[in-house]
Every structure is written in C-alpha cells, then in structure tokens.
Amino acid sequence: MKQSFFQRLLFKKVARHLRKPSGWFGKKVGIKMNAANAFLYDAALDIMKPADHDSILEIGFGNGKFFEKIFSKANGLRLTGIDFSEKMVEEAKKNNAASWATGLLQLYKGSSDQLPFPDNSFDIIFCINVVYFWDPAAPHLKEIYRVLKPGGKFYSVIRSKESIQQMPFANYGFIKYTRDEWTDILQHHQLNVKEVNIINETAATLKGDSYPVTSWCFVGEK
Ligand SMILES: C[S@@+](CC[C@H](N)C(=O)[O-])C[C@H]1O[C@@H](n2cnc3c(N)ncnc32)[C@H](O)[C@@H]1O
C-alpha cells in the first residue's frame, strides 16, 4: 500500500505507542488494544486452562483490562503483571482497583529482561503481542526461564509473520517471526515447545481488501 508522508508519520506514532504507550495517546492506544485483542486473550486462556492456586505472570499487560477475566478462570489464582510503560501501569491499577488494593494482583513497572522475582516463582508466564519488541529476545527468555518453576509453562502469543506484515504500523520497529523461527528461539532457550496453537481471527480489511489474520500461541515448558 502506498502511504503518504502523513500516514507514515501516524503509523510510526502508533507503532511507538504499541511498543510503549505513554500520555493521552498511549491511553487511547491501550483502549483500542482491548477491542482488537480480546479474542486473543480468550483464546489464550482457553489454551492455558489455569489450575486453582496457580501463580501467573503476565508480561506487557497494557491497561490490564483482562485481569478480572483471568481471575474468573480458577480459584485462588495469584496474578502478577509487569509492564515497562508507566502509563499502562497507572491505567491497570485504575482498571483493577479492588484486586490491586487487596494485594491479590501485584503490578510492577519494569522490563522483562530484568524481572524482579526470585528463581522458580511462577507456574505460568504469558505475553500477548509483546515478543515483537524484544530486540534481541535472548535476555527476556533467559529471565523467563529463570523465574518459571520447573515444569512451568511459557505461553507466547504472536501474530504470524504473514499477518502482521500486512498491518501498516508493523513496518516500524516490529520483529516478525515465522512459526519455525520463534519455535527455534524458544527451544534454544530451553523452553521446550510442546504445542503451537493456531488462532484464526476475524479477517482485517485494508483499503477495501480483506486478508486473514492468524496468530499462534506457543507453549514452551521449562
Ligand atoms: C502491543 S502492547 C500489547 C498489550 C496487551 N498484551 C494486548 O495484547 O492487548 C505491548 C505491551 O507490552 C509492553 N512491553 C513491551 N516491551 C516490554 C518489556 N520489555 N517489558 C515489559 N513490558 C513491555 C508495552 O508497554 C505494552 O503495554
């Protein structure tokens, strides 16, 4: 698609805020992501099937709109979130005021390449639409491996390379993976890939053309 100078500026700005939302524009992007990604959260939770009392870490939770949904999936879940956007941490605290105030939900501002948690802390770690921004992925995956319990699972949900490269903002700073590329990277970091689930989303429309959007949920086990 041929883009004008102003379209390119806008897509660059959107890409910057998808990576790390800030200010009022970042807040708006967070709300848009809720609508665009609700389907992925539902699909990922169906795959994850948390068990009662699991301890779960979400990396890159955006405005945290889906924590209540996660709590509803099992009893006594201990949920922790980390996001390096100050704005998103602020919004997530507002959106989850009750569970945050009671300490049921722990929220941290920080980056996944320096996780402020002891070794072997979590049964489940997951992230949705975050991997594209890890450049390189290695220090993030080393940390995830460290804080996962033995036998714990890391669920990473990403849009397929073919799907995301159709999205105009993804030309700016997104690292795109094929299914084999991301599988190899996980395996290389001792996250043994047990399954790659295909998630078919509603077709997207761009300039009157519709194209399929496919995501994958990779399940890597420590
Ligand atoms: C595209 S948004 C996805 C938000 C949400 N998971 C969703 O799918 O709707 C990416 C989120 O990950 C966060 N993020 C990106 N890189 C991160 C990192 N290295 N550590 C922690 N959070 C990160 C951003 O601040 C942002 O909130």
- Collect all residues with Cβ–Cβ distance below 8 Å to 13 and sequence separation of at least 6: 25
Q: Is the pLDDT of residue 208 over 70?
A: no
Q: Which atom of ligand 1 is nearest to the CA of 157?
A: 8
Kindly give the pairing relationship between strand 105-109 and strand 122-128: unpaired
C-alpha separations of 109 from 20, 89, 131, 220 in Å: 12, 6, 17, 25
What is the C-alpha to C-alpha distance for residues 141 and 125, in angstroms, rounded to an integer? 11
pLDDT tens for 138-186 read 999 999 999 999 999 999 999 999 999 888 888 899 999 999 999 999 9
Q: Which atom of ligand 1 is nearest to the CA of 140?
A: 19
Q: Is the pLDDT of residue 29 over 80?
A: yes
What does the domain layout of the chain look like in residue ranges?
5-221
pLDDT tens for 99-118 read 988 888 999 999 999 999 99
Q: Residue 74 has what DSSP assignment?
A: S
Ligand 1, pocket residues at CB < 6 Å? 18-21, 33, 37, 59-62, 82-85, 88, 111-112, 128-130, 133
- Determine the residue of 133, 142, 164 to mutate for testing ligand 1's pocket, defined as the one with the most ligand atoms within 8 A of the Cβ atom: 133
**CA-proximal residue: ligand 1, atom 9 (nearest):** 33
Among 3.40.50.150, 3.40.47.10, 2.30.30.180, 3.40.640.10, what is the CATH number of 5-221? Answer: 3.40.50.150
Q: What is the largest CA-CA distance in the chain?
A: 52
Kindly give the pairing relationship between strand 209-221 and strand 148-159: antiparallel
pTM, entire model? 0.96
